[in-house]
Structure 1
Amino acid sequence: MNRIGLFAAAALVVLALLSSMLFVVDQRQFGVVYALGQIKEVITQPGLNFKLPPPFQNVSYIDKRLLNLDGNDTTPVLTAERQPVVIDWYVRWRITDPTQYIRNVGLDEATGANRLSNVVRSAFNQEVNKRTVRELLSSERDEVMNDVKNQVLAQVKGAQPWGIDVVDVRVTRVDYSEAITESVYRRMEAERKRVANELRSTGAAESEKIRADADRQREVIIANAYRDAQKVKGEGDAQAAAIYADAFGRDPQFAHFYRSLEAYRATLNKRSDLLVVDPDGSEFFRAFRGGAGASGPRR
């Protein structure tokens, strides 16, 4: 039993030793083998590899993929006309030489990202200081990104290369700082209100003009209609007078009687009317007395 336990313990020790000597490099990583704190070997190809057991050799991994770095600094940058703007940007970069990267930057990708962010921010500050807001927004936007990329590459590939490559630099947003933005919004709002008030005033003037023209046309139409109506009415009255004259000329006694009836109708047209006269001595009621007195007017 003691011999079996000894064999089992020895087998476990051997397995532990083998596991510490074997390591796998992923296709997305570099494998860096250290020997007493010094870089012994950099493995770039994926697969199973061997090394000495710790503490003689250790292995670390560095990402070899294309990395993104987003600039989220809200500190305003002054343009050529001294306008504070905020630049949002991103950088795509990768580690190309793990040995140089570890010696000049460090083992952690975050450390390299922080240092690269400082370099990119400084390059953007220099390029933005040379240009106006209009140039940043339109004509020289691509030129700014190319100049920043060239400055960053010159920095990371200089006397002490970082072992990285900057693939692309892009500007995602150029905006005024918050204080300036509020001022611009207020100025835009005031301008829109001014235009709206001007349009309302113009519309009100046009509406008054249209209304006055419509009233004038209405008065003209009513006047013309009244003129035509009076003309027709005059012609009708003339024809009626001619007819009456012709009819009354044929029978003067009937004409006198008819006119008396019209006078009675005009005088006694309401039930509440009260007329106190002498029927026997009044010429007004002569037509009611009949006889010879009703045959015609007195002479």
Structure 2
Amino acid sequence: MRSVTALLIVAVLAIVGVLSSIFIVDEREKALVLQFGQIRAVKQEPGLAFKIPFIQEVVRYDDRILSLDTPAIEVTPSDDRRLVVDAFARYRIADVVQFREAVGPGGTRLAEDRLADILNDNIRSVLGAEGVTSNTILSEERSALMNRIRVLADSRAQALGLDVVDVRLKQTNLPEQNLAATFDRMRAEREREATDERARGEEAAQRIRAQADRTVVELVSEARRESEIVRGEADAERNAIFAEAYGADEDFFRFYRSLAAYERALQGQNSTMVITPDSEFFEFLDGAGLSSGVTPSGN
């Protein structure tokens, strides 16, 4: 009976030992076989693998591309306009042995802390380099700056067994204490531009009004000149007609002119004129001023 029990115990231990010696490596990971903290085997191909039970252990690491968000930091470009910048990076474990030797049991968490420090150092050095201004960071050159950060970070991350695949700047903002001053400066610049635009508009309006006024004066002057010319020509023509009429019949002309004088002098219902009866003004009324061929009408 005891021998049967012993055999069962041995069989169970053998099964447990066999099961403990077998492990599966997933296609999305890499595995290290450790013995007393030392690397004994590297398992990078997916499938079944073996280890010494109870003596060796298996440590697994993700073989996919991983993401890391860096904390926001302040950078000072060459124009001394401070910015708050944060970034995210994509990386993968390229050399699992070197990775284990670099971070030890700390694993991915410790590696990401060190990688974040590397990224922040390179972000400060690239964005704070000579010739890099805040406008450069916000322009199309931003992509080139991010690529420089990636290259520098990747060269330093090789010591951790990591490949830095990509680095992207997420936000690029002003510090809170600078926002009010920046907004005030932007408002002052916009107001100055608006004042300049209004001044230029007023200047243009003055030029247009002056041109219009000058055009009006010129048009009025030209119209007056033409009207004076027409009036003069009309007066000359009228005088020529009068002179011709006067030359044709002097008595008739004197008679016509006297009648016009009577018409102008005796207007309205209550016109009164005090004059001596023998005045020359009435020479055609009493017939004394008539010569042959001119007969006054009326009484």
- Band the TM-score falls in, shorter-chain normalisation: 0.5 to 0.7
Cα separation, 2, equivalents of 1:136 and 1:233: 73
1:26 aligns with 2:18: no
Contact 2:24 2:48 survives alignment (8 Å): yes
Change (3 A) 1:229 1:140: closer
Matches within 5 A, 1:71-110: 71-73=70-72, 75-78=73-76, 83-102=81-100, 104-106=103-105, 109-110=108-109
Match of 2:5 in 1: none
Q: For structure 1, which segment, 147-156 or 24-33, has the greater mean C-alpha deviation from structure 2 after superposition? A: 147-156
Match of 1:276 in 2: 272
Which segments of 5 or more consecutive residues in structure 1 lack a partner in the other structure?
1-15
SS in 2 for 1:45: coil
1:134 aligns with 2:133: yes
1:191 aligns with 2:193: no
Cα deviation for residue 107 of structure 1 reads 6.6
Cα deviation for residue 237 of structure 1 reads 0.9
TM-score by length of 2: 0.64
Match of 2:234 in 1: 236
Match of 2:63 in 1: 64
The residue type paired with residue 28 of structure 1 is R
Match of 2:118 in 1: 119
* Percent identity between the two aligned chains: 30
The residue type paired with residue 65 of structure 2 is L
Cα separation, 2, equivalents of 1:233 and 1:80: 80
SS in 2 for 1:76: strand
Which segments of 5 or more consecutive residues in structure 2 lack a partner in the other structure?
1-15, 295-299
Contact 2:149 2:167 survives alignment (8 Å): no
**CA-to-aligned-CA distance 1:63-84 (integer Å, 9 cap, x gap):** 11222323341x3134567653
Cα separation, 2, equivalents of 1:25 and 1:125: 40
RMSD across aligned positions (CA): 4.9
Cα separation, 2, equivalents of 1:207 and 1:164: 68
Change (3 A) 1:258 1:24: farther
Deviating beyond 6 angstroms after TM superposition, the runs of 4 or more aligned structure 1 residues are: 16-22, 34-40, 50-53, 55-58, 138-141, 282-285
Contact 1:124 1:148 survives alignment (8 Å): no
1:47 aligns with 2:43: no
Change (3 A) 1:227 1:56: same
